[in-house]
Amino acid sequence: MRAEQGVSAKFRDPEWTAGGDRRAAVPLSGLETLWFNTGTLCNLACRDCYIESGPRNDRLAYLRRDEARRFLDEAGRNHPELAEIGFTGGEPFMNPDILGMLEDALATGRRTLVLTNAMKPMQRLKAPLLALNRRFPGMLTLRVSVDHHAQARHEELRGQGSWRSMMEGLAWLVDNDFTIAIAGRRRWGETEEAIRDGYGVLFDRLGLRRQGGDLVLFPEMDPEAEVPEISERCWGILGKRPDSVMCATSRMVVRRKEADRPVVLSCTLLAYDPQFEMGATLAEVARPVSLNHRFCAEFCVLGGASCGGGGH
């Protein structure tokens, strides 16, 4: 049945847009990245955190090692295409099982990525992280959120004092030869060239360019902005392919507060919307994802973000 016409009816019907077109859907072309959300608790409460993390948000509970391992085992049996295992939060290093989960992920022989703010929770684990990085050389990447290359702008979102602790953590990672990526944001109206130049200066200061540190820039999501829906026709109009968005190649495991087992979501961006909950095992989650959320349009299809994890 078609949704009611009109602006207020946007993102209501999984199959039809408010304008009466068939809504775009994305088939899983292969499970190339499996994300684990370690829990939404975080030592920071950043402005506009896409998953609303903070010291009191435990809507996604701490995932346990045995729970993550069940999915790693299933992926090992059925998904030879799996190339990368990602951990996001919240702040993953606050999860008491994080080291065990990282060890299990790395032991599968896949690249393993952790999104972190590099502050105290990570710094408390320096010794075991060094040991893991030595045991699995080149397999572990830490992606550190540096919202802007200028302290004032980073702290505008993350709070006063957040820059210094982040920089201490980042410098430690550089000094100890971890593979590092930086996640920045494009929210201050600067050109991409200016942003990249600014980060370049920071990379030089830290010695990060020498190590080939990567920079990932995320588009902004404005909850008030008017966003078009994405219909099947949009792919052709925009010159974009369904397999370019994250849910074509990824899924994310979460455990909701008070749930007795984890579930698998379409992607890292829509943690609370039940329509993106796809099943309890990887076998159940291969069906296409209907792009029935404003983030699908704003962030993935029009914003051009193809790299997983969202902001952190």
Please give the residue ranges that form the binding site for ligand SF4 (CB under 6 A).
26, 42, 44-46, 49, 53-54, 89-91, 117, 145, 245-247, 266-267, 269-270, 276, 289, 291, 293, 295-296, 299-300, 311-312
Sign, CA torsion 114/116/121/127: positive
211 vs 306, which CB is nearer to ligand SF4?
306
In this complex, which beta carbon is closest to ligand SF4, that of residue 35 or of residue 178? Answer: 35
Nearer to ligand SF4, 227 or 247 (CB): 247
Q: How far is the CB of 141 from ligand SF4 (least distance, A)?
A: 17
Coil, strand, or helix at residue 41?
strand
Least gap, CB of 278 to ligand SF4 (angstroms): 10
| Alpha-carbon gap, residue 238 to 211, rounded angstroms | 36
**Nearest CB to ligand SF4, comparing residues 180 and 269:** 269
How far is residue 227's CA from residue 34's CA, in Å, rounded to a whole number?
A: 28
Q: Provide, rounded to whole angstroms, the least separation between the CB of residue 274 and ligand SF4.
A: 13
Which amino acid belongs to residue 161? G
Minimum distance between the CB of residue 221 and ligand SF4, rounded to whole angstroms?
Answer: 10
Distance in Å, CB of 46 to ligand SF4, minimum: 3
CA 8, CA 18: separation in Å to the nearest integer?
8
Q: Which is nearer to ligand SF4, 139 or 293 (CB)?
A: 293
